[in-house]
């Protein structure tokens, strides 16, 4: 199937590692030009950009930090300056919440901590959409994929603020679909389940991964490539008329 991505420009935020890196690879494999962002790990970002063709100008790595609004503006401005705009936006970057200490409750989290967490995750993501969508509308074509989490649908102990930040994207996309639909721009949300990234494989106790696997009809956790496959379809011309949808990729959970 032709995904209609050849020479399209794609911006994938938070793509120096994990799921975002495989999303960037999937678009590059379809002939798209990929701008990928990193926050702290410039080496990993530049390495992936080289792998995806930085020397042929088919990839670039840009700094983008959710907590630094000027980097959000400058990353989009640089893609627009070099490649004329963004055809596909995959908003994947996340600021993780610090784990709560055992016995610490929701109400014990200082207000300044969680308001900053919500502000960092939500506002910059919406701003990135604002900055990229005007060009898509002008060209009468665009695709936006927002990366959420199964936590926004299922809930998870200790993840109230993360769940709040992610589920806000669902309401946002459902409404934005109405505003963008007549102009050929489609916006969808992908909710990964627990995904076997390097960070998850290295950082999560084996018994937690095994428990999560047992709860999954397919009997395995998603790989980053599994998530990338769903994102690639929704964020491509192969997706002709799906918008405002919340798609879970979690092995059937």
Give residues in contact with ligand NAP (CB under 6 A): 14-20, 38-41, 64-67, 92-95, 147, 149, 192, 194-195, 197, 199-200
Q: CB of 201: closest distance to ligand NAP in angstroms?
A: 10
Let me know if 64 is a catalytic residue. Answer: no
- Select 63 or 139, whichever has its Cβ closest to ligand NAP: 63
Q: CB of 5: closest distance to ligand NAP in angstroms?
A: 21
- Select 27 or 38, whichever has its Cβ closest to ligand NAP: 38
The count of C-alpha atoms lying within 13 angstroms of the C-alpha of 78, restricted to the half-sphere facing its C-beta, is 18
Q: CB of 57: closest distance to ligand NAP in angstroms?
A: 22
Tokens of 195: 């995904």
Cα torsion 211, 215, 217, 218 to 10°: value is: -20
Spatial separation of the C-alpha atoms in residues 37 and 11, rounded to whole Å = 8
What one-character DSSP code corresponds to residue 193?
A: -
Q: Active site residue: 27, 38, 64, 162, which one?
A: 162
- Select 137 or 253, whichever has its Cβ closest to ligand NAP: 253
Spatial separation of the C-alpha atoms in residues 80 and 74, rounded to whole Å = 10
Q: CB of 241: closest distance to ligand NAP in angstroms?
A: 25
For the sheet containing 185-192, what is the strand order?
59-63, 33-38, 9-12, 88-91, 142-147, 185-192, 246-249
- Select 9 or 248, whichever has its Cβ closest to ligand NAP: 248
Q: CB of 229: closest distance to ligand NAP in angstroms?
A: 14
- Select 6 or 199, whichever has its Cβ closest to ligand NAP: 199
Which residue number is nearest to ligand NAP in terms of Cβ? 18
Cβ–Cβ under 8 Å, residues 209 and 4: no
CB within 8 A of 194, min separation 6: which ones? 150, 200, 204, 209, 212, 221, 222, 250
Spatial separation of the C-alpha atoms in residues 18 and 36, rounded to whole Å = 12
What one-character DSSP code corresponds to residue 99?
A: P
Which residue numbers are catalytic?
162
């Amino acid at each position: 199937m032709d995904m209609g991505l050849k020479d399209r420009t794609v911006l994938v935020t938070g793509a120096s590692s994990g799921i975002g890196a495989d999303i960037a690879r999937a678009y590059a494999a379809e002939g798209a030009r990929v701008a990928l962002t990193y926050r702290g790990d410039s080496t990993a970002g530049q390495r992936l950009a080289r792998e995806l063709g930085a020397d042929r100008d088919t990839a670039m790595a840009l700094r983008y930090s959710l907590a630094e609004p000027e980097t959000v503006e400058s990353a989009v401005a640089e893609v627009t300056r070099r490649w004329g705009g963004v055809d596909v936006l995959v908003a994947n970057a996340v600021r993780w919440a610090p784990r709560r200490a055992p016995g610490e409750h929701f109400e014990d989290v200082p207000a300044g901590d969680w308001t900053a967490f919500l502000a960092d995750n939500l506002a910059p993501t919406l701003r990135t959409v604002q900055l990229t969508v005007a060009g898509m509308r002008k060209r009468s074509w665009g695709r936006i994929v927002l990366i959420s989490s199964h936590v926004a649908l299922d809930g998870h102990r200790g993840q109230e603020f993360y769940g709040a930040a992610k589920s806000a994207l669902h309401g946002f996309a459902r409404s934005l679909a109405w505003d963008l639909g007549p102009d050929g721009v489609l916006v969808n949300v992908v909710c990964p389940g627990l995904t076997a990234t390097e960070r998850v494989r290295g950082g999560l106790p084996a018994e937690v991964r095994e428990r999560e696997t047992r709860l999954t009809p397919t009997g395995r956790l998603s790989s980053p490539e599994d998530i990338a496959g769903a994102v690639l379809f929704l964020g491509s011309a192969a997706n002709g008329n799906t918008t405002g949808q919340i798609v879970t990729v979690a092995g059937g959970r």
